[in-house]
Copies of this chain bind each other. A is one copy, B any other.
Amino acid sequence: MASPEFPSLERSLEEHLPPDELRNVRRILLGGEPRKLSLPAEALAAASELDFELAAFGFEAAEEQLRPARLVRVGLVQNRLPLPPCAPVAEQVGALHRRIEEMVAVAAQCGVNVVCFQEAWTMPFAFCTREKLPWTEFAESAEDGPTTRLCQRLARAHGLVVVSPILERDEAHGDVLWNTAVVVSSSGAVLGKSRKNHVPRVGDFNEATYYMEGTLGHPVFQTPFGRIAVNICYGRHHPLNWLLYSLNGAEIIFNPSATVGALSEALWPIEARNAAIANHCFTCAINRVGVERFPREFTSGDGKPAHRDFGYFYGSSYVSAPDGRRTPGLSRTRDGLLVAELDLNLCRQTGDIWNFKMTGRLGMYAEELTAAAQPDYRPHIVKE
């Protein structure tokens, strides 16, 4: 894995490559020179004061005759825990609420219309421990828990849509837990929720000890700023998950995540970007930052000695466009807000160019998958 203190791939290239080589490398790596947006001076000053990275890029589309440009600004927030996991639950939640309030205020100054936080943003990613208390105390009602109420206040105050991934306590169904993203409209109303459809059993990701696969399907939310969906964390490894959000009309798919260097860093630049390409939509991949040290030791099923942390979360949040372009990633080490201005007209334009929906042969695959899902499926293997 890359070392925890390595700040970012893109910065390394910028520092060391001669300008013409950098241009060629960026065309291959990022799909072209990223177009930087200029931001208000007060937002830049606030980000510096509050010690987080602030970067902003734009993706334009071609001009059309019948549709005006549909410009939307998304904000991706990545952050470390302000307090350690050993602090009292209420204090940890309070500190995270305050941090996010600060960062959302800057997002609003930057004209952000839809902001998305990292997975399970109100808590440490404690599922590595397999302990229940105190971690399950971070779970809240998606409809009217304190975090959703905070998001409603933020949405109304700033006129933006908030995507808030939390650990949900579902009191209406026997108090079970879910990994859920709450979508709050810019009006302040809870528009709905989306649940993690695929639950990992890999490395220290012992989430299956806490919650099951979501049963809400692949909802897409019509907001004043376009149709959005939320593919939570490990769901990004499953191309079918992205596809179904896209078939339901998503123009932007957020992927709030929590993932660590040793496991997934080489996969990170690939999967959400592939999904943007394959589905003619924008994707927004968000990862938390830093090392979270737990009060009690646990093992990792790898034969190594017990220890107290999960490894380091490498940030690197980024946005991919349907035509394969992407922004540079945010830092691997610092809190950050990535602003991206998207012209949503690019989705249909790219689809009309590449035609993956038209050439996708959905009916054939529906039949083949139905067959493959049968208990007595026999793979099509040709032998000599």
Contact = CB atoms under 8 A, between A and B. Distances in A.
Interface residues of A, number: 88
A2 B26 CA distance: 8
Contacts of A269: 28-29
Contacts of A201: 355, 358-359
Nearest to A363: B373
Contacts of A363: 373
Interface stretch (A79-87, A94-102, A183-191, A287-295): A183-191
A200 B373 CA distance: 29
Given A2-B27, A191-B384, A237-B354, A270 B277 contact: yes
A353 interface: yes
A269 to B, nearest CB: 7
A222 B382 contact: yes
Given A16-B17, A277-B267, A383-B222, A9 B31 contact: no
A107 B344 CA distance: 48
A116 interface: no
B361 A213 contact: yes
Interface in A4-40: 6, 9, 12-13, 16-18, 21, 24-25, 27-32
A198 interface: yes
A273 interface: yes
Contacts of A3: 24
